[in-house]
Structure formats: C-alpha cells, structure tokens
Structure 1
C-alpha cells in the first residue's frame, strides 16, 4: 500500500541530506565517521524496535540488579566501537578486505588520482558495496558523516526540497490543502534544527514527516461499534445510511459490514432503498443471502424513503441492533437525485450518513465527498479498494478535507476483507518499508 507516498517521503530525506552534505563539503566542514548509516525506513523500524525493547526492559524491573550489571558491561564494550577515520574521499571503499597491509607510503600524485573520480560521483558512494561483508538487516554500510561545526537547517536548504515534496504529493492525488499542510508542518519542524551527524538528518526528517501526516489522518470521532453499543443501551437500533456514486462498491461494502457485525454478535438488517437502478435490488439481495441477514425490499421503482422507514421499524420490532440502508448511486451534481437522498434522510432519521468512496480514484473521491457533505452533511467515510491503492491520495486527504473520520477500509474482495480504520495502523502503513505489511493488531 501507498508505495508512491513512501518514495516521496524517503526522497525528501535523501534530498535534504544531499543538500547539507554538499554544502558542508564546500565549506570543508565534513568528515567521515565510523558507524552505520540508517536509511529512512530502517530508521522507522529501528525506532519501533527500541520502543519494544524499552517496554521489555520495564517488564524486567524485578531483575534490575543483574540487568544493570549487564548494561554496564555492554556500555564498556560500546566505548571501544570507534574506528580510525579514513580519508574523506575513501568513503566509497570497504576497508575490510585491506586491513592486513595498510598502505602508508602512497605518493601525493596517487592520492590526487583517487580524489578526482570520487568527487564526480559523490552520491554513488554506496552503489558498489553489494559484494562487501553481510550487513545488518536495518543498516547500510558506511556513508555516515559528521559535521565539524554543527549545521543548522535553514529555509534556504528546504525551499527546493519542500517544493518538490508538494508537487510529488499533488501528483499522488493528495488534495492541495493537505499537501500544503504537510509541507508547512515539515518546514516548521525542521527549520532551526542543528545537525551534527548525517543520521540526524534522516531522524529529524522522518519525525517531521510522520508528525505532519499523523495530524492529517487522525480525525476524532466515535467508531460505529461504539455507537451501536450506545444505541443498544437505549433500546434502539443504529441506523446507517450509505451514499456515493455508482461503481464505488457501496452495496458490496454493506454486505461486508453486515457480515462483520454478525460475527461480533449483532443482528443487522439491510434496506434495499436503491429502487431505481436495474438489478440493484437483486444485487443487494444476493449479498444479504450470502451473509445470512434479513433484507427489507419493495418493488422496483417504489419510494426509497418508504423502504428505509420499513427497515427501521422492522429492526425496532425485532430488537435488531443495526440497520444498513443502501441508496441509489448518484453523481453529486444531480440535483433531483440529491433531493431524493435528502428525503430518505428526513424519513429514516439515520444516526450516521456514510460516504463510500473508491480509494483508487484519488482526488475525485475527495471532491465527491466534499459535494455530498455540502448537500447532506456526512458523518463518516468508508474507502474501498484501499489495499490496491499505491498513491494514497484519498486515504491521506478525504477525512482532513471534510473534517469527518474514515470509519472502515475495504481491503479485498471477500466479505471478511474490511477493517475498522485505525490512525496508528494507517501511519505505520505509510511509514513502513515498501512491500512490508503491518499487521493491524501490531499497530
């Protein structure tokens, strides 16, 4: 998921590192440092690993005496970790194969011959290291530098980099106001930061981007499950009305939600209030039969509001906890159909009006949600096909733009392929290494 956004975030870190190191090189303010260079995503894994280790340490407090002794020994060993610094332009070479006979008497001419080609390929320093000794899973060999005098990140360093980030976000179907909010937050976070080591650049950029995105995607709101429980305590069903345009997976999502809450011990009922589209009643009837829930339906062309009303009355009479109202897909620009949708809302009095959007349509889904929100006042969003979304524009933008929470994500074709939205899980998806899956239970 979201491979495009991940690459843009990682590239922002790389570009800032290039900018600062090249400037320090011109100022003779740079030296190679012993140690390992952390990449953007390996830093994220390392950060999470340290957090888990910290929790583990807290659990071991009863054995603190032995632990302290072991830690002291470990610290002593770490102090011996400093290797002799090599010449600046030798950073692209691994020294492990040449430790036996260090060359001490190279002429100035030979050194000069090595310098020139290295200068023309400054950023290729790690490209020829594939045959070197096996690296740590989370670290890259060498390529770590320190600044003799600490560098301070200024607006000048970030101007081109953040412009490139903003353009990249817009190309990834992120809404304009969201892209601007991310860029402004990153700028505020980074300007004035003092950098001593190249790994600091990765750390600060990673944290700045992660904090910016965390603010964007975490829209407060109650979960549907919490609302069902609250209504159940009042002896009433939770009534949910689904809206959106044709083809976004609205009816299939209703089937998934019916299945989801059946497995949680609730009894849903579905209202076939899409009475206009040919085959719509048969389609929702198919899903209701598949998951095993009651369907309330009238004849094709009948009043959709009457179908929704009957479903609510049935749920109240039978003590069912959840009513899922399927409505006709309509374009947000169709005034007559939007008026019909408002009538259903007046009659059925839903507790939640939920927009169902296709994540793959990116900015279109955000614009559609905005129009529906203006017309009928949405309470939340469900995004379908999120598992196939490489760009991530809709997932990042839609809740922030309409100021309403994402409730669920569709994650596949099966009835079980739906999950309640969790901002922490989403953040980990956006900042995990490309191809690495993050389990929702671990987020």
Structure 2
C-alpha cells in the first residue's frame, strides 16, 4: 500500500540531511515536495493545503542547526497530513440502533466496487446481529440486478427488485416498505453508477434520494482512480453525500486518492476496502494511512 509515495518521500527526506537548509531554501523544498505529491495523484488543492500547513510549521525554525533535519521536516509533514485526514467520526452502529429501518444509499461511478461494498457492509452488519435487505435500484446497467443477487445469496441477504428499465425510486420505496412490514433493521440501496455517457443518471439518483429519504448517503470511490476521485466527488455534490468508502486501497501504490477524498468532499471516510473477501472492509484509520506513508 502506497509504495510509490513512500519510496519517493524516503528519498526526499534522505536528501535533506545532505543539504544546507536556510529560510530561503524552504520554498525550494516545498516545490520538490509538491512534485512528489502531484506525481502520486494527490489533488492540487490538497497538495497546496499540505504545503501551506507545512510552511507554517517549519518557517522561522533554524532547521540547518538541527542535528536531524530529515526527522524534523518528516514529522512536520506527518502532522500536516494528519490534519488533512482528520474529520468527524460517524458511529454507524449507534445510528442504526437509533432508527428502524435505517436506510443507507450508495452512490458512485461505474466500476468503483459499489455493489461489492454493499455486500461487504451488509455482511458486517448481519454478523453484528442486524437484519438487512438490499434494494436493487440500479435498473439501468445490464447485469446489475444479477450481480447484487449473487452477492446477496453469498452473504444470506434478501434482495428487493423490479425489472430492468423500471423506476429505481419505486424499488427503493418497496424495499423500505418491506423492511417496515417485517421489522428489518437496515435497508441498503444500490444505485446506477454515473458515467460521462449517461449524465441523466444523476437525476435518477436524485429522485431515489427524494423518495427514499436515506439516513446516510455513502459515496463509493476507487482508490486507484487517483486524481479522478476529485472529479467524481464533484459530480455527486448535487446529490449530497454524508461520507465515503474508499475501495481497493490495498492495491493503491500512490495514495493520492486516500489523501484527497476527505479534504475534497469535506466528509469522513467510513470504511476502506482491503481485498476481495466479504470481510475485507475495515474502518478507516488515519494512523494506518500515515504508517504506510512514513
């Protein structure tokens, strides 16, 4: 995880101890750091923020007199990134216990692992003793209903579905009514993945949200998408999201998506996908991210 970013930063820090560093050298150091971050898919906005935080931490310090310049700047950068990763924490279990049925809606681009994430989270909640039902509200993409049904079968959860081409909001409505009638704890709504070719799908997602009135809207993003995560998040800003799940983080060598998503969305990351299994969904831990970078 994050091998590329970690390797580039290690080389960057090693070079620092061999240099004479005065106040006037700080801008040059920050420029070198900026290039490393951008090359590893950290968004420009986040890169600029990290530079600004770091500059405040090291400006005015007599860095060249320090015995270990590398450790000083490394720790300052670590603290800057920790600030970027900091966000409010959502206690999902507490929220589910407070309302029945608790409705969760999932949004995201095609190919991000949205349907698999639904199955993973459904599996986790079921193991914690909650009853769950899935809503197959992606009635647009060929094979989407069967994909959700296959996952649901594997984790032992029922799917409420209509035909392809049907009204996605109607499916969500029926799933919620089903949950109310059978005292089910959680409704998890799959939605059509937006793509550049199908801009009207965002309106369908908005309609689902108006009808379902979800208690939590989760944006699912692929860590391997890097800088594209910023663009994807902006596309769903009109829908409104409460938090994110970052998938495929175990295969992400660059780390830019993980560093960018919280700052760009202004919302916390709830979980990260760490593998292909149904148990491979872990609560987001900023310290684990930092450990893999430094």
TM-score class normalised by the smaller sequence = over 0.9
Task: Output the CA distance in 2 between the equivalents of 1:249 and 1:171.
Answer: 25
Partner of 1:35: none
Q: How does 1:12-91 map to 2 (within 5 A)?
A: 12-20=12-20
Per-residue CA deviation, residues 271-312 of structure 1 (Å, 9 max, x unaligned), is 001112111111100000100011111122211101101111
Shift of 1:350: 0.5
Task: Output the CA distance in 1 between the equivalents of 2:36 and 2:203.
Answer: 38
Q: How does 1:407-422 map to 2 (within 5 A)?
A: 407-422=270-285
Partner of 2:8: 8
Task: Output the CA distance in 1 between the equivalents of 2:24 and 2:288.
Answer: 34
Q: Kindly tell me the number of residue pairs found equivalent between the two proteins.
A: 293
2:74 to 200, 206, 211: 206
Partner of 1:287: 151
Matched, 1:397 2:256: no
Q: How does 1:195-344 map to 2 (within 5 A)?
A: 195=63, 196-199=65-68, 201-231=69-99, 236-331=100-195, 334-344=198-208
Cα contact 1:409–1:419 (8 A) shared by 2: yes
Matched, 1:181 2:44: no
**TM-score between the two structures when normalised by the length of structure 1:** 0.64
Task: Output the CA distance in 2 between the equivalents of 1:227 and 1:353.
Answer: 13
Cα contact 1:17–1:202 (8 A) shared by 2: yes
1:198 alignment partner, SS class: coil
Partner of 2:33: 165
Cα contact 1:217–1:423 (8 A) shared by 2: yes
Shift of 1:244: 1.1
Per-residue CA deviation, residues 190-212 of structure 1 (Å, 9 max, x unaligned), is 1222354432x132112101110
Cα contact 2:22–2:62 (8 A) shared by 1: no
Partner of 1:425: 288
Task: Output the CA distance in 1 between the equivalents of 2:230 and 2:102.
Answer: 26
Cα contact 1:244–1:331 (8 A) shared by 2: no
Cα contact 1:15–1:161 (8 A) shared by 2: no
Task: Output the CA distance in 2 between the equivalents of 1:271 and 1:225.
Answer: 20
2:254 alignment partner, SS class: coil
Task: Output the CA distance in 2 between the equivalents of 1:215 and 1:182.
Answer: 9
Shift of 1:333: 7.2
Cα contact 1:379–1:404 (8 A) shared by 2: yes
Per-residue CA deviation, residues 168-193 of structure 1 (Å, 9 max, x unaligned), is 11111101011111112112111222
> Is there any run of 5+ residues in structure 2 with no aligned partner, and where?
none
> Is there any run of 5+ residues in structure 1 with no aligned partner, and where?
21-152, 432-443
Matched, 1:156 2:24: yes
Per-residue CA deviation, residues 317-342 of structure 1 (Å, 9 max, x unaligned), is 22222111001111267442111111
Residues 13 and 192 (structure 1), Cα distance of their counterparts in 2 relative to 1, 3 Å cut: farther
Cα contact 1:332–1:368 (8 A) shared by 2: no
Larger Rg: 1
Question: Larger deviation: 321-330 or 220-229?
Answer: 220-229
Task: Output the CA distance in 2 between the equivalents of 1:338 and 1:161.
Answer: 42
Matched, 1:378 2:241: yes
Task: Output the CA distance in 1 between the equivalents of 2:97 and 2:269.
Answer: 19
Shift of 1:156: 1.4
**TM-score between the two structures when normalised by the length of structure 2:** 0.94
Cα contact 2:103–2:216 (8 A) shared by 1: yes
Cα contact 2:58–2:73 (8 A) shared by 1: yes
